[in-house]
Amino acid sequence: MLELKPRIDFGGQPWPIVVSAFDLSWLKSQLVPAQRQRLDKVTALVTDGTKRIEAERKHATDGPGHDILASIGQRLPNGNIVRSGEEQRLQRDIRSHAARQVVDRIIQIRQSLDQTVPPILRDMQRASLTAATLQERVFDKFSCLWRASAGMNLQDTAALKADYAEILEKAEPMELTKIAQRAIDDGSAQSLVLVDCLLRENFRRPRSERNFLNAALLNLVNVPEFNEAGPLLQEVVDLNNQALTAWAEFNGQANRATTLRIGQGLGRMSLAPTITEPQEEY
């Protein structure tokens, strides 16, 4: 027995808003734009944090403390500065104190981003997990072909499929193969409905009565919905990876970024290669 799974969720979490239908319109209007907005937020926060840190470092180099350090000691007529042991210790103490202050302020900046960026990254990761699930269960080529309607309503599409099924049921294996080849060569929207019926009829027959593999037929037909959905799902994943890269670069050290990814359950993702051949022949 094969396990039936619950409706697709938001990367392991309930959807923040009700999704009426997982279709191209929803991909274009909600899933992808929301992921773009998340990347914009992460980029803006990281850019602002980087500017604030650079300002602190610049202040430590060119700020008033630099002038104070230069004034410690006795300046000779030739421009050299002579410092006693006590003055040298004072200079070291001032440098150390200033450095600690800069480090503390940089840590505070990073901690402020630790409160805002990771939650956005988690949502981006969930969206990527959703994209991977959608690619497997909703926008795979077989599912997209099943939904092909040639612009007809559901009732007319069902009636056309019923007519095709009645004709194909009586076709000999060689005739069925020739019909499949004509459908491939036709390439029209209506031919996709025929291809869907051909796959079902070929799958229904015993293996000894099949003249072609369903996976071969599926690979040879052009399904517009499948072609359009793939890049949109890939963009969701790519945006997630861009945000993770920006966050890792901001933290400035691989071990810290790795620790964050492990702790927050985050990491670079990729969609599985598009494979139209099923595990078992249709």
Q: Are residues 103 and 128 in the same domain?
A: yes
CA nearest 282: which of 223, 202, 162? Answer: 202
Q: Are residues 98 and 230 in the same domain?
A: yes
Do the Cβ atoms of 247 and 117 come closer than 8 Å? yes
263 pLDDT above the threshold of 50? no
Do the Cβ atoms of 150 and 190 come closer than 8 Å? yes
Q: Are residues 128 and 200 in the same domain?
A: no
> Residue 173 and residue 162: Cα distance in Å, rounded?
19
Q: How confident is the model at residue 177 (pLDDT cuts 50, 70, 90)?
A: very high
Q: Are residues 61 and 185 in the same domain?
A: no
Q: Is residue 218 part of a domain?
A: yes
pLDDT at 252: 73
Neighbour-count burial for 20-32, b at 16+ CB within 10 Å, e otherwise: eebeeeebeeebb
pTM given for the model: 0.77
Q: Write the DSSP assignment of 129-158 as a string of letters.
A: HHHHHHHHHTSSHHHHHHH--TT--HHHHH
Q: Is residue 244 part of a domain?
A: yes
Q: Which domain holds residue 153?
A: 149-222
Q: Are residues 234 and 136 in the same domain?
A: yes
Distance separating the N- and C-terminal Cα atoms of the chain: 17
Average pLDDT value over all residues in the chain = 83
Sign of the torsion formed by the C-alpha atoms of 97, 101, 107 and 111: positive
> Residue 239 and residue 241: Cα distance in Å, rounded?
5
Q: Is residue 19 part of a domain?
A: no
Q: Is residue 275 part of a domain?
A: no
Domain final residue pick, 175, 196, 222: 222
Q: Are residues 121 and 236 in the same domain?
A: yes
Rounded mean pLDDT, 193-199: 95
208 pLDDT above the threshold of 80? yes
Q: Are residues 238 and 137 in the same domain?
A: yes
141 pLDDT above the threshold of 90? yes
pLDDT at 274: 64
Domains identified in the chain, total number:
2
Q: Are residues 70 and 197 in the same domain?
A: no
Q: Are residues 138 and 164 in the same domain?
A: no
pLDDT at 249: 86
Helix (H, G, I), strand (E, B) or coil at 73: coil
Q: In which residue are the tokens 């279709």 written?
A: 23
> Residue 81 and residue 120: Cα distance in Å, rounded?
53
pLDDT at 278: 47
Instruction: Give the DSSP letter of residue 207.
Output: G
% the chain with pLDDT above 70: 73
pLDDT at 87: 59
The larger pLDDT score, comparing residue 76 to residue 138, is at: 138
pLDDT at 84: 64
The larger pLDDT score, comparing residue 66 to residue 18, is at: 18
pLDDT at 98: 55
% the chain with pLDDT above 90: 58
> Residue 230 and residue 223: Cα distance in Å, rounded?
11
24 pLDDT above the threshold of 50? yes
What distances in angstroms separate CA 189 from CA 6, 147, 181, 207, one per listed residue?
Answer: 31, 11, 15, 29
Give the pLDDT confidence of 41-57 residue by residue, as tens digits: 999 999 998 888 888 77
